[in-house]
Amino acid sequence: MSSLALPEPAITNSAAARRAHRHFLDGRVHASNERWPRAVKAYERAADLLHDSAYALAAAHAAIKAGRPRDAIGRLRRLRHEHPELTLGYTLESHAWLELSCPGEAVAVLQSLPAEAARDHAFHVALAVGLQKLQRHEAAVQSFMAALAQKLDDAPSHFRLGMSFKELGLKAEAAECVRTALVLGLGSSELSARALLVFLEREACRWGEAEPELAMLRAAVQAATAGTAVETGAFVHAVLVDDPAEQLKVATFYANHLASRVVPLPRQQARGHAGRLRIGYFSADFHQHATSQLAVQVFEAHDRERFEVTLFSAGPDDGTPLRRRMEGASEHFVELHGQSMAQMATAIRARRVDVLVDMKGATYGSVMPVMAYRPAPLQVCWLGFPGTSGASYIDYLIGDPVLTPIGHAPHFSEKIAQLPLCYQPNDNRRPAPAAQSRSALGLSDDALVLCGFHQSYKISRQVFATWCRLLRALPDAVLWLLRWNANVESSLLAAAAAEGIPAARLVFAPLLPAEPHLARLAAADLFLDAWPCNAHTTASEALWMGVPPVTMIGQTFAQRVAASLLHASGLPELVCHDTAHYEQTVLQLAVDFARRRRLRDTLLAQRSSHPLFDGVRFARDIEALFERMWARAIAGLPPAHLPAES
């Protein structure tokens, strides 16, 4: 949010005015040193002594900074009633509502400003941010444009404008906004912004722009001092960089940054107690999202005689059947959406959870700031983020022997807790639709369909060049891709042309809901994995629909997920170790129809009974892992690596 220019109070010679002004000056000293609770008291004394809007605005601003947004709202409502054309009162109240994660109320307040009142830069920024948080991105773009018309060198607004362009699928335009913000200067947010710029260029498959930006980002990370607390793009490093040590460094920067912004709750020691072990799962994705699709059956299958399970939801209710199923999947479903991070932490602590599982990590809508408050005695990360958290306040990371070998422990801040088969759960109640006809999908019945249904950022220049070599070697093959955004199709068609591949050899498919997506996926012959970030949910979807994936394993978490799934499926021969092996494996399968048919038939025959797709079995395995963690904790032992038990 843009910085606000608070007005100076009027100064008169009355004794009350002089006393009020002294309190105001005291508040300013406290505010300049970020002693916000003291600043609130001083400003409130000034406002109580003298009816001056400047004192009321200062008190409200300090209350927001002190973590008391509701107090600020009460004061600002009274002020707006008295001064209905005081724009700053509306702007400040919107800030308070945003602190409470209530963007609808923030926008409503701003839109209630009388038409004749002035609308300054801060007003337009506040309105744009509120609209952005409501996912009203076209309107947000207009408000950011209005803000920039008044202050063109506002770097944060250029950055946020880019975020709305990103959500509208205009990746190239978003990248230019972020690039402008970086030129203007983003201070401590520079590493995070550079990471986002790389990600946007990769989403647009503009590799010529992405590669030098990634090199600059990595150089900046290497130059940064270990132990730094700074906002970073931990997710970008997790999925685009193949160096696990560098990933740990970046994740630690981000985790330290979050920790520096909170005062943890008093540490709660693990103590044995009568009754069930209390497990809390925490995410902003308990709606129509891959996390919920994968894990819902596990939540339903928990042994309620031994475990009291609570789902803490920090995300919106999207009204979907999956959301309704999630709400009924555990004993308790606690809605935290709309609360501040501190309020969420307090609510979780009040539930006396023994083991709290972060299922979101450093992804969009992260709940990691809540974990930094340490609301539970044991804190675990699982499933939501493809790598280490880098956080001293996360005790365990749940993996498996292929995904997270104990030998990889130096690259994780957490202790590794291994499930016996695969870290990824799967729901055998998910839809299993019949394969859609190829003709309805724009595919030839005679073609060899090589499916690359990846998010576009995963498709690097090297990956695409490998796929083009396969197309040249297989004249009857087509490459089936997703049309993720407005830029990706033109970028990939141009790259294919440069490789001598006709446009007709690339077939682009629209994004679809889960069930029709599965039905069309079955039309593929092979699934081609990407690197250094594999397919994760999509790889298990391919297996579910009988489409064998070919992957290349690496050293990072993100490049070992598909290998874990294939080992769990009994198909380790489809796990490759370099590009030559990868190409050879694809070519062998491409010309061996009988082998492909056997693989498909085996996958389809076993999916209802195979351990990989057995959420009930997974629930027993993860329960045993929680019990091992808890047994150590109540014995007074520190977290330790927990290898898989057969």
Whether omega before 69 lies within 30 degrees of 0, making that bond cis, reads no
The confidence band for 17, taking pLDDT boundaries of 50, 70 and 90, is confident
CA distance 322 to 327: 9
What is the reported pLDDT for 421?
98
pLDDT at 8 over 80: yes
Contact, 84 vs 112, CB < 8 A? Answer: no
Structure tokens at 415: 């202790």
Sign of CA dihedral 272, 273, 274, 280: negative
Please state whether the predicted TM-score (pTM) of the whole model is above 0.85.
Answer: yes
CA pair distance 640, 629, nearest whole angstrom = 8
Max alpha carbon distance in the chain (Å)? 97
How would residue 561 be classed by pLDDT, with cut points 50, 70 and 90? very high
DSSP labels, 368-421: HHHHHT--SSEEEE-SSSSS----TT--EEEE-TTTS-GGGGGG-SSEEEE-SS
- Residue count of the chain, please give it: 646
Domains and CATH numbers, the chain: 1-152 (1.25.40.10), 161-261 (no CATH), 277-418 (3.40.50.11380), 439-613 (3.40.50.2000)
Q: Tens of pLDDT along 240-294?
A: 999 999 999 999 999 999 999 999 999 999 999 999 999 999 999 999 999 999 9
Mean pLDDT of 442-466: 98
Q: How far apart are alpha carbons 645 and 576 in whole angstroms?
A: 26
CA distances from 96 to 30, 77, 89, 102 (A): 20, 11, 11, 9
The rounded distance, in Å, linking the Cα atoms of 245 and 410 is 8
Confidence tier at 188 by pLDDT (50, 70, 90): confident
pLDDT given for residue 1 in this prediction: 60
Q: Under a CB-based contact definition with an 8 Å cutoff, are residues 342 and 360 in contact?
A: no
Question: What 3-state DSSP class applies to 101?
Answer: coil
- Mean pLDDT computed over 507-526: 97
- pLDDT above 90 as % of the chain: 91
pLDDT for the residue numbered 2: 58
CA 381 to each of CA 68, 359, 372, 393, 416: distance values in angstroms, whole numbers, following the listed order: 30, 6, 13, 10, 10
- Helix (H) / strand (E) containing 277: strand 277-283
- What is the distance between the alpha carbons of residues 397 and 190, in angstroms, rounded to a whole number? 28
CA–CA separation, 247 and 555 (whole Å) = 11
User: How many C-alpha atoms does 183 have within 13 Å on its Cβ side?
Assistant: 9
> What average pLDDT does this structure show over 549-575?
99
Q: Of 47-56, 322-331, 403-412, give the lowest mean pLDDT range.
A: 47-56
State both tokens at 247.
């990933």
d(C-alpha 151, C-alpha 164), whole Å: 19
Lookup result for tokens 């309805």:
440
pLDDT band at residue 296, thresholds of 50, 70 and 90? very high
Label residue 12 by pLDDT band (50, 70, 90). confident
- Determine contact, residues 287/451, Cβ cutoff 8 Å: no
3-state SS, residue 23: helix
256 sits in the region (left: phi over 0; alpha: psi -120 to 50; else beta) called alpha
Q: Answer for the pair 498, 465: CB distance below 8 angstroms, yes or no.
A: no
3-state secondary structure of 279: strand
3-state secondary structure 468-479: HHHHHHCCCEEE
231 and 196 Cβ atoms separated by less than 8 Å: no
Please write the tens of the pLDDT for every residue from 473-483: 999 999 999 99
Determine the Cα–Cα distance for residues 423 and 438; give it in Å rounded to an integer: 33
Report how far residue 355's alpha carbon sits from residue 282's, in angstroms, rounded to the nearest whole number: 11
- Give the pLDDT confidence score for residue 338 in this predicted structure: 79
Degrees to nearest 5, angle at CA 619 with 618 and 623: 115
Question: Who's near 103: CB < 8 A, 6+ residues apart?
Answer: 97, 129, 130, 131, 133, 134
Query: Phi-psi region for residue 465, left (φ > 0), alpha (ψ -120 to 50) or beta?
Result: alpha
Of 412, 525, 532, 509, the C-alpha closest to 461 is: 532
Q: Which residue has the higher pLDDT, 8 or 436?
A: 436
d(CA 576, CA 554): 9
Alpha-carbon Rg for the chain in angstroms: 27
Instruction: Return the pLDDT at 195.
Output: 96
Strand partners, 473: none
Measure the CA–CA gap between 343 and 340, rounded to whole angstroms.
Answer: 5
Question: What DSSP state is assigned to residue 506?
Answer: E
What is the average pLDDT across 626-641?
98
Q: How far apart are CA 192 and CA 474, in angstroms?
A: 41
Kindly tell me the burial class for residue 35, based on how many C-beta atoms sit within 10 Å of its own C-beta (0-12, 13-18, 19 or more). middle
Residue 589, number of CB atoms within 10 A of its CB: 18
Residue 4 banded pLDDT, cuts 50, 70, 90: confident
d(CA 417, CA 626): 9
